[in-house]
Amino acid sequence: MTDIILSAQGLVRRFTARKPLFGTPSVVQAVSDVTLDVRRGETLAIVGESGCGKSTLARLLTRLLAPSEGAVVYDGRDIASLSDTEMRTLRRDMQFIFQDPFSSLNPRMTVGALIEEPLRIHRMGSAPERRAKVADLLRKVGLRPEHADRFPHEFSGGQRQRIGIARALATGPRIVVGDEPVSALDVSIQAQVVNILEDLKEELGLTLVIIAHDLAVIRHISDRVAVMYLGEIVELGDAAALFEKPAHPYTETLLSAIPIPATGARKARSLVDGDPPNPISPPPGCRFHTRCPYAQARCRSERPGLRTLAPDRQVACHFAEDLSLAGVDATMAARPAAAERRFAVYSNARANMTGAETNKTKLPTEE
C-alpha cells in the first residue's frame, strides 16, 4: 500500500463565463495544471483568496466535477475509468462537508433522517442498525441521540455543521473533504468545529482535506499546506515549516494577515493591496507578479513552475531562494533583524525595477 491515497495529476478545469456587456462567452480557467498528492492519514489544507479555485479543486478531487484535462487517481486508479459499482464505493469512501450549514441541510428532514440518508442510499445496515448508527454519530459530534427527532432550524450554526459532519461520516469514509467547513460560523465557534473534525480524524483514521481562505483556521490542524493563487498551487509543504518560513511572497502575505497571538489584537500589515487579477485574463509570466513586492523583469514574462526548494517544500517563484532563505517570517514586526533582512531583499528587488514598472506596494512596517 502506497502512502498516497489521492492524487491530482495535471488537473485543469475551465468554465465558460459570459461577458456582461457583449454576451461573448469567455473562458475562466479555475484550476490550471494542478498536480498534488494527498497522503494517507494526513490533514492537507488548501488555502488562498476567494476565487483562486479552491472549491473547484475540491470538487474535482471528489469527482463532484469532471476535469477539462488531467486525472484524479484514487488508490492507484484513475477515477474517470471506474465502473458504476466502483463509483458507488468511491462515493462511500469520499465524503464532502459543505461550507454553509444553513443551506446544505434539507430543512424539511429531521436530523436523524438527514444523517441516515447516505446509509439508505448505499443500502448499509437494517433500519434498527441505521438508527443505532445515527445515535452513535450524534454522540461522536457532541450532540445527543434525541436530537435525531428535531429539524435543522432548531440548531445553531455550529451545531448544524456538526450535523453536516455526522452525515459526512455516516458511510465510514476514508477521505473527508471540507470546503471551508467553518467559514460561515462565528469565530468563537470555528475552533470548536475544527477540533471536532481533528479528533474524529484521529479516532477514525481519516484523511482530511480542508479548504480555507484563512490560514489561522487551519494553523493547528494541518500537516501540510497547499497555497493556491489564480488557479495554481504556488507553494506546498510541511505546515509547521511553511508557517515558520514561507517561501513564496504570496504565502508570506497570507501569513502576515494572521493576528500575532502574543501581541493581542495587533496585526502585521499585509504586503499587497487590492483584488487578484481577473481569472478570465490572468497576467503573463508569474500570475502573482502584479501584486508581488519583489517582482522583477523575469517574473513578468516567464511562468515559474512548482519546483522543490527543500525536502517537503515546493514553490513556484523564480526568486524563492533569495526571499525565503533571507529569514523572512510572519512575525517580522516583532523581530527587527528579520525585518531588516527583508527590507534589504525588498530594496534590492526594487532597485532592479524602473519607476514605471514598480508595483503599487507598501513597505512591511508595523501598524
Task: Please give the residue ranges that form the binding site for ligand ATP (CB under 6 A).
Answer: 15, 17, 28, 30, 48, 50-56, 213, 279
Identify which of residues 54 and 318 has a Cβ nearer to ligand ATP in the complex: 54
Shorter beta-carbon distance to ligand ATP: residue 125 or 277: 277
Please report how close the Cβ of residue 135 comes to ligand ATP at its closest, in angstroms: 34
Residue closer to ligand ATP (CB basis): 28 or 239: 28
Question: Rounded distance, CA 160 to CA 156, Å?
Answer: 6
Of 222 and 324, CB closest to ligand ATP: 222
Please tell me the distance from the alpha carbon of residue 239 to that of residue 220, in angstroms, as a whole number. Answer: 9
d(CA 298, CA 304) in angstroms, rounded, equals 9
> Is the CB of residue 44 less than 8 Å from the CB of residue 223?
yes
CA separation for the pair 80, 63 (Å, rounded) = 8
* Nearest distance from C-beta of residue 50 to ligand ATP, angstroms: 3
AA letter at 1: M
Name the minimum Å distance from CB 283 to ligand ATP.
15
Q: In what order do the strands lie in the sheet with 25-39?
A: 25-39, 4-18, 69-74, 77-78
**Comparison of 212 and 339: residue with beta carbon closer to ligand ATP:** 212
**Phi, psi (degrees; rounded to nearest 5) at 227:** -105, 125
Taking the CA of residue 192 as centre, how many other CA atoms within 13 Å lie in the half-sphere pointing to its CB? 14
Q: How far is the CB of 150 from ligand ATP (least distance, A)?
A: 30
According to DSSP, residue 267 is labeled: B
Least Å from the CB of residue 65 to ligand ATP: 9
